[in-house]
Amino acid sequence: STITTVSSGINAEYGGEPGLDYGGVAREWFYSLSKEMFNPYYGLWEYSAIDNYTIQINPNSGMCNPEHLRYFEFSGRICAMAVYHGKLIDGFFIRPFYKMILGKQIVLEDMAEVDIETYNSLQWVMDNDPEDLFLTFCAQESRFGEVIETPLVAGGENIEVTNFNKVGYVNAYIQWKFVNRIEEQIKAFKKGFAYIIPLSKLAVFDENELEYLICGIAQIDVEDWCKYTEFKGGYSATHHVIVWFWKAIRSFDNEFKARLLQFVTGTSRVPMNGFRELQGSNGPQKFCIEKWGSPNDLPRAHTCFNRIDLPPYKDYHT
């Protein structure tokens, strides 16, 4: 059965890098695989209009890869496997993507997080009489340098947008923008996800919780990190080296904090409920700092145990 297939655990081994996998290598494998899987370079995904790190499904993915639906199904399986095994993936999806997985309706406010210019235009239509704009029930998009016009409803090119039908126009535009253009791709993704975890099991989550479940928390809370850290080898929360350690982390930007977290745990993301839910080789495993080595050594990490071996440095700047 599907559950039997995935419940036996995952052991990952990198070519030419033999080692024991107690969970850390698998975490890094999910992270590395998903980073490539969701790379917009391959044409299956694209950056949203609002930034260059939030991604969405590319409506023209079929023109980039004839096998695109198989890849989307595979992506769905990998995401579900990560959830099942308590791992996180490296993917910053737009919020409507999670709502589509849950089968929830997408509304105008969702547009603001994806395409602020289109949101402002549609909001203006909602707040004013649009008749002077001479709009019709059509949407335009640029496809490989060519402007394509698509009717939002049957015969939409002949239906003018008025003050009486503008709500229908906005709703139809949102449906086209987020659903109609990628209907096959999202269906394939959900099929792959459901192969591992039935979609009905996600009904208890909203879109924010689902994002945290799949991708973890993007913004790293240092105070929460401190709270759920344990110490070994003679270190304690008040030891001067530990005080310097947290001082250094607080001085980092979020990207550098994430890189340090990945170095120690195998993933740059924090679980849905914070650092208290970090997973190790045998279940929950707090972040750990152990005293090790000499002041001339560099720190080393054990991703299977969420542990960093930190030498007893003599001063903060070291």
Which of 101, 206, 124 lies closest to 173, judged by CA?
124
Q: In the block, which residue shows the tokens 């080595």?
A: 293
How far apart are alpha carbons 36 and 264 in whole angstroms? 21
Residue 304 near residue 280, CB atoms below 8 Å:
yes
304 tagged catalytic: yes
Compute the half-sphere exposure of residue 240: CA atoms within 13 Å on the CB side of its CA. 7
Considering the candidates 79, 138, 215, 304, report the single residue annotated as catalytic.
304
> How many CB atoms neighbour CB 314 within 10 A?
10
Quickly list H helices, the chain. 2-7, 24-37, 61-64, 68-84, 95-102, 108-111, 116-127, 166-178, 183-196, 207-215, 222-227, 240-251, 254-265
**Helix-strand-coil split of the chain, %, nearest 5:** 50, 15, 35
Active site residues: 304
